[in-house]
Structure 1
């Protein structure tokens, strides 16, 4: 993790689970980012109490209201982030916000499929479109530098469930809408890597493991990976990402995940 030096980072879905864990670990770095933007849908709600507790101790933490399915909300968040950054750019955008519906294939519905896909796939698409100018500004601040998370990067939090060739866990959780949305997110990541490479922005899909969160435990099983273990692993991976990793799908231990 020592190699991960970022001036600014934004994490979506930051009020609980993996998102909150990421925020905590960024703040706890030996050299923390000057700005940590924690974005969530209901920043004044009860589920955001952990964020407010952190904000009371860390002046570099800014809580941002954000609904990733609402373009106006995304634009307002980008404007707020831009005001704090002044003339500098955003180094690292982590699209972590996501939802899961524990439906069997035969019970999947148009409403649930649309809701999950809109949040898990279209949300990251819109986020990257709107925040691209800030990411490009960060990349331009290091002209000639190789792609890295320290320069400018988009990290899309995916899932083993999005691997078409390795459908692990089907017997435990069919979660069809979630699987489809994450497979689509992986393709989005590949497309972003091809388009944004010319802007100096690295793009990678990251699988955090089966983690002990509300989402991970929704089917009544206890996941094997703690939030702390997952986040520590992912940050270690982020510190080592380079140009060869843009457009790839990796897990929290740095292993390549089959598409």
Structure 2
């Protein structure tokens, strides 16, 4: 990958923070690496990276709030100065209700999850679409790629309807239902934005040892993100609209 500008939502910990670390360690890091979190003053490790790397910007973003999204996208446009956005990683998410039976599902859990995984990211993508289109139009690269202009939604193997069945892991309704909606959002956007040269795909980062994934995860954040870097580098037009595992396998819907 060779990207001039990147946005990573939910970058104060876990996979998002690891993306920041690995981007700044590239031989040619992005000129603008915009990282977000709900409480920048509490994101000590992220702030420390920003102090040592002038290309790293830490911006406040609460994906549940339209006012926060509006303020965030205004700041992004000032940072980019009209030069376009190459890569948007919609990583921020929630897992409010853990595993449980159907009778434990709450309206609030479903609505909060839908806001975090769908309505918030949709607004962010809409607000940043002119910047993504500008990057695609200005790029001399043929075809479609992450280095040109791309939106990557973070989904999960748990969102695969085909993987659900007897004997599987316990259900997590609000998380799985709304992440399945992310898959449909990805497919629809990939079709609509193809003519603008913007690649849209979604990924399953693996079962990672994070606050959300828990201590029994199969991958460290370092392993997951290294694999995702390799995967992103291979993305082209044929990758659009698909759900990929971190290891490159296509996960059935």
**Please, what TM-score do these two structures have when normalized by structure 1?**
0.93
1:146-225 equivalences in 2 (<5 Å):
146-167=143-164, 171-217=168-214, 222-225=216-219
Q: Is the 1:160–1:167 contact (alpha carbons within 8 Å) kept by the matching residues of 2?
A: no
Stretches of 4+ moved more than 2 A in 1?
167-173
Distance 1:169 1:27, change over 3 A: farther
Show CA shifts across 1:73-97 (max 9, x none).
2121111111111120010000000
Q: Distance in 2 between matches of 1:112 and 1:103?
A: 12
Paired residue secondary structure (1:212): coil
Gaps of 5+ in 2: none
Distance 1:171 1:245, change over 3 A: closer
Q: Which residue of 2 aligns with 1:21?
A: 18
Are residues 1:82 and 2:77 paired?
Answer: yes
Q: Distance in 2 between matches of 1:89 and 1:169?
A: 47
1:133-144 equivalences in 2 (<5 Å):
133-142=130-139
**Please, what TM-score do these two structures have when normalized by structure 2?**
0.95
Q: Is the 2:141–2:148 contact (alpha carbons within 8 Å) kept by the matching residues of 1?
A: no
Q: Is the 2:82–2:131 contact (alpha carbons within 8 Å) kept by the matching residues of 1?
A: no
Q: Which residue of 2 aligns with 1:127?
A: 124
Q: Distance in 2 between matches of 1:73 and 1:199?
A: 27
Gaps of 5+ in 1: none
Q: Distance in 2 between matches of 1:119 and 1:110?
A: 14
Q: Which residue of 1 aligns with 2:30?
A: 33
Paired residue secondary structure (1:257): coil
Show CA shifts across 1:198-226 (max 9, x none).
11100000110000001011xxx611111
Paired residue secondary structure (1:56): helix
